[in-house]
Amino acid sequence: MAEPFAEYREVKAADPLRQGDVLEAADGGATMWRRHLLVMTADCDFAYAKHQGRVTCVPLVAADEYLLEMQIPKIREQLVKQQLKELRQIFSKATVPAIGDRRLREWASEQAPADIVTMLELGQADAQKARAALEAIGIMDALPDSLKESVDLLVKAQLVGAGPPKRDSAVKKVVNHLRGVYAQPPGDALFLSAIGPGQESGYFAYLRHIEQVFEPHIARGPSHKEVAYRRISRMRDRFTHALVQRFAMVFMSIGLPQQYEELRDLHAEIQGDNLV
């Protein structure tokens, strides 16, 4: 019988620290950005001590936390824009003071939609649409603690908003976006189903956030001494290479304007003069 598939493999305590190693924080209260880390420092840097003892890592974030932190806000912004567009169309036909989108969103959370509509003195039909749009915005701008609550609120907001879709469509608009992130993640992330023994609930490597850990603070296996992290596994070579490639693409060199280069050279010249 074939072994169950996993992106990681187990590693012995005697094995040296290497690129692709997965670290787990000793602190049970560590933030999502520091709870699990993936070592990105190159093997040759370890071999020749080029890293000066600093191990560069990126976080491995639980899937629910990643989606809540990085993807739900994108969906929220798209849905809020639709309701703001409805409000702009209504306001264009009435004598309403100029209100920026940001202030309009704040207003929807600060005051009851019915009171806002009364203050604006809108006609009955427009008042009903505006009240619905403001209520939807207020619901969407609530910030629940869990992914499930966030999805529920985004679906509810669509159903109470101006021009509401059918419930199935409202659910699909949110859920399909989240599902799509697994197969087609942004360029700065990659999904991993498992990162170590007992850590198999799904994670996203987020490559734009960098953490550094001192190598002496990492235990390569079970240890009685106090450490900040312990190694729990190593990603298989193919996944390590894929992650390193994506990491490099995120931080690829970008050409900078000539004005910057001129100012840079001026600063270098001044600094040189100050040192001699």
Task: Tell me which DSSP letter residue 21 carries.
Answer: E
Please list the residues that pair with 25 across neighbouring strands: 229
What residues have CB less than 8 Å from 247, skipping those under 6 apart?
40, 58, 207
Q: Does 188 or 108 have the greater pLDDT score? A: 188
* Helical spans, DSSP H, in 4-146: 43-47, 63-66, 72-92, 101-110, 113-120, 124-140
**Residue 209: which of 75, 97, 60, 89 has the closest Cα?**
60
Whether 253 shows a pLDDT value over 80: the answer reads no
pLDDT in tens, 82-111: 999 988 888 777 777 777 788 888 888 888
For the chain, helix, strand, coil in percent to 5 are: 50, 15, 35
**Residue 104: which of 92, 88, 121, 118 has the closest Cα?**
88
Whether 276 shows a pLDDT value over 60: the answer reads no
Q: Does 224 or 104 have the greater pLDDT score? A: 104
- pTM for the predicted model, two decimal places: 0.85
C-beta neighbour count of 80 within 10 angstroms: 22
- 17 touches 46 (CB < 8 A): yes
pLDDT at 273: 60
pLDDT at 1: 53
Cα–Cα distance measured from residue 248 to residue 226, given in angstroms and rounded to the nearest whole number:
33
What residues have CB less than 8 Å from 56, skipping those under 6 apart?
39, 40, 41, 210, 211, 212
Average pLDDT over residues 264-275: 71
pLDDT in tens, 137-183: 999 998 898 999 999 999 999 999 988 999 999 999 999 999 999 99
* 3-state SS class at 24: strand
Give helix then strand counts, H and E, for the chain: 10, 9
- 59 touches 32 (CB < 8 A): yes
- 181 touches 67 (CB < 8 A): yes
